[in-house]
Structure formats: structure tokens, C-alpha cells
Structure 1
Amino acid sequence: MNINNVINEIKFDDKGLVPAIAQDINTGKVLMLAYMNKEAVEKTLNKKIAHYYSRSRQELWKKGETSGNIQKIKGFYYDCDKDTILIKVEQVGVACHTGNYSCFFNEVLNEDKKENFQNNEDVLKELYLSITDRKNNPREGSYTNYLFREGIDKILKKVGEESAEVIIASKNESKEEMIYEISDLVYHVIVLMINQGVSIEDIKKELVKRRK
């Protein structure tokens, strides 16, 4: 890949900028829209970490430089008119400064939300993001928020209870009951992970190490 050729192909506007859309490579979620200048494109491709140009501060910035919520570049594309960039990233932490995973959290219409969740290939990641969003945006009467509010002792108690339910279901030799109880356990374990700052990526990396 010749980075200079890429930069020469892209059509920057009269201010030397081009819009860049960041998309989660694992879930397909659109995370944010920012702008890049030639230097940002160069650093993004060289370092494989997203860099943008701040129009308000008029300076280059590395995504996650202060928060640690970096974006690891997994794909880089520009559109048919060569005036918009799409980057596919592995998001570390959250993408939005509000604490939401995606900047596009103000939902107006989503008629296929349930279907998308059920058909998502990485449903555990989707569940993780959903619980994270509930933690950052509490809703009255939410069981998830109740667990976070009560804290680690309550969460651990529920993990213990659900583990016992899995054991009982297994002893009963009921596949349907096992599926139900294991699903409950997975949900509570993910709540625990989020409460303790453990990501799905952390677990994946550990499992990969164990294969060696």
C-alpha cells in the first residue's frame, strides 16, 4: 500500500478535510463521524490507530489519547466519489465522550431492533453493548440498573445463584432448562464483567492464549 497514492486519490474539501465514518468491525455498528486531513490519514494508515482532525481546536488528535478508548484500524475504504472515508475498527472501550458505545444513541426509529439482535452473529457482543448502554443510561425499574446500583456483592450473589440453577438443570437432564439457566448465567456474568471493567475482547485474548 502506497499511502501517498491513497492521499492523492481522496478528494479533500476546500479546508483540506474529508469526513470519516468509524464502524465496529465486530458488530457492524456505526460508532462516530469525524474529519481527517492528510496528516490524519497518513498517521491512521501508518500507525493502524485512528487519528482525526478537530475542526473546533484546529489540531490533529489521536482517538483515545487521554481516555484510552482507542480505535484499532482493521479496514480503510473511501467511497465511489472519493470524498468520504469508512474505517472499520476494533473499538477499545466506548467511542462516544458521553460514555455511550456509539455516538449514534439518540434513537428516533428502529422497527427491526429485536430482529437485528436475534440475528446478530456476535450476540454476546451485542448483549455486552446493550448492558453497557443501560449502565451509562439508567432507566427506572430496570433490573440491570438495580444490579449495578446494589453493587458487587449483589452481582456476585446472583452469579452464584444462577450457577447453582445450571447445576440443578443439568442434574434434571433437561436440555431446555439448561439452555434457559445457562442464558441467565451468561447475562449475570456479563453484568459482572462490565462492573469490573472486563471486556469480551479480554476473554477472547485469554482463550486464544490457551490454545497455544
Structure 2
Amino acid sequence: MNIDFNKNTDGLVPAIVQDASTKNVLMLGFMNQEAFQKTKASGLVTFFSRTKNRLWTKGEESGNVLNLVDMKLDCDNDTLLVYVIPKGPTCHKGSETCWNEDNNQSFGFISKLEDTISSRIENADTQKSYVASLFAKGINKVAQKVGEEAVEVVIEAKDNNDDLFLEESADLLFHYLMLLQAKGYKLNSVVDVLKGREK
């Protein structure tokens, strides 16, 4: 990597640290050339601490190290994106990120949809909520609905109407997310199983 350490007078470049799995940003640090080389050689993310005025390997005292996965350089050659697997909380105050957020896997809109399903289940207004009314009928009914939607997806897959295929696919995914919650799980649990099968 052709990193421009001379762009700033202090010889430091920002290093944005991102969890390689969840893709959440964990912290921001600074590296000089020596910190960059030590990070590459040791596999543990090392910064130049401006307060200590020395190299500082994250977790050298707490044990909460950042195991290096990969590094990328931005288009101006003056900012690093550092992919890591964190061991323990990243922030020195004990939180998982330096923004005091949980470092959970998020699937964007799908995670929001899961939260909506949870909220409808908890509110249990069977008069206003389709989710609540289906859950009130029990897990067998939820599972049956997933089966029905799966059959409809197969039928539409054999036709040429892509709009209907996508509509039925959305229905299947929605009801599958409901079934997962009926069993006490969310999509993260299924993703963990798939990760375990990765070769």
C-alpha cells in the first residue's frame, strides 16, 4: 500500500476500525508508518497514541485486542479502513464501540422488520394487527402459513410473472421471520448456523 504519511505534518493517518463480521464501525485511531508495519507483522491492531506519544497496541493492558483481518486504503491514500475481529469490548469505557452502541449484526430493513414483528407480538392487539392475530392462533398456524407461502413461491417460480414471484417471496420471508420469533429466534441465529458451514 502506498500510504501518504507525509500529507499531515505529524505523519499520522486516520485508521477507521470496522468489525469484519458485523460491519459496524468500532473506533477511530491514528497510525504512523511504524504502527502500520507493526499491525501487519503482529496481526494485532497497533496505533500511535497521541496522548502517550508512543505506539500503542489496542488491548495491551485490558486484553481486548483487535485481531487484524484486512486493511484497505482510501482513494486519496491517506485514510485506512481496518477490518478486525474484536476480542471483548473495543471502547476503554467498556462498551462494544466507541459510540456506546452494541456491536450486533444488522440486516438493515430486515432487522427493522424483525423489530416491528416483535412489537406487534408484545402489544398483542389481535383486532388491529395481523401478526398478533396469527400468533394468537399458535405456532402450528404460523408454521402452516409458512408452508402455504412456500408452495405459492414454487408455483410462481414456474410462471413468467416476476412481479407475482417477488410478491410471494416477500410473503414467505415475512412469515418465516414470524416463525423464527415463534420459536424464540431471529435471523442472526440462522446466519450463525450458515457461518458454521462456511468452508
1, 5, 9: which one aligns with 1:11: 5
- Give, in angstroms, the shift of residue 119 of structure 1: 4.9
Residue in 2 that maps onto 1:103: 98
Q: Which residue of 1 aligns with 2:47?
A: 52
What residue identity is the alignment partner of 1:18?
V
Q: Choose from 77, 81, 90 the match for 1:86.
A: 81
In the aligned structure 2, how far is the partner of 1:98 from the partner of 1:204?
33
Amino acid at match of 1:10: D
Aligned to 1:134: none
Q: State whether residues 5 and 32 of structure 2, in contact with CA within 8 Å, keep that contact through their aligned partners in structure 1.
A: no
Q: CA contact under 8 A between 1:49 and 1:71: conserved in structure 2?
A: yes
Question: What is the match of residue 181 of structure 2?
Answer: 180
Gaps of 5+ in 1: 1-5, 107-113, 128-167, 191-199
Q: CA deviation at 1:76?
A: 0.6
Amino acid at match of 2:180: I
1:68 matched to 2:63? The reply is: yes
How far is 1:60 from its partner? 0.6
In structure 1, the residue matched to 2:110 is: 118
TM-score, normalised to structure 1, is 0.52
Show the counterpart of 1:146.
none
Q: Say whether the 8 Å CA contact 1:10–1:78 is kept in structure 2.
A: no
Structure 2 counterparts to residues 155-166 of structure 1, below 5 A: none
Q: Contact 2:68/2:83 (CA < 8 Å) preserved in 1?
A: yes
Q: Write out per-residue CA displacement over residues 25-57 of structure 1, whole angstroms, 9 at most, x where no aligned residue.
A: 111111111111111000111122100011011
**Percent identical:** 34
Post-superposition CA distance 1:174-209 (Å, at most 9, x none): 527863332x3x48xx9xxxxxxxxx99x999x57x
CA distance in 2: counterparts of 1:34 and 1:63, whole angstroms: 10
Displacement of 1:18 in angstroms is: 1.2
Matched residue, 1:22: 17
Q: State the number of aligned residues.
A: 135
Q: Does 2:35 match 1:40?
A: yes
Any idea what SS the aligned residue of 1:96 has? coil
Mapped pair 1:77 → 2:78? no
Shift of 1:115: 7.5
Cα distance in 2, alignment partners of residues 204 and 36 from structure 1: 35
SS in structure 2 of the partner of residue 40 of structure 1: helix
Q: 1:116 to 1:50 in 2, by over 3 A?
A: same
SS state of the match for residue 180, structure 1? helix
Structure 2 residues not aligned, in runs of 5+ = 116-137, 146-177
What secondary structure is seen at the aligned counterpart in 2 of 1:39?
helix
Paired residue type of 2:110: Q
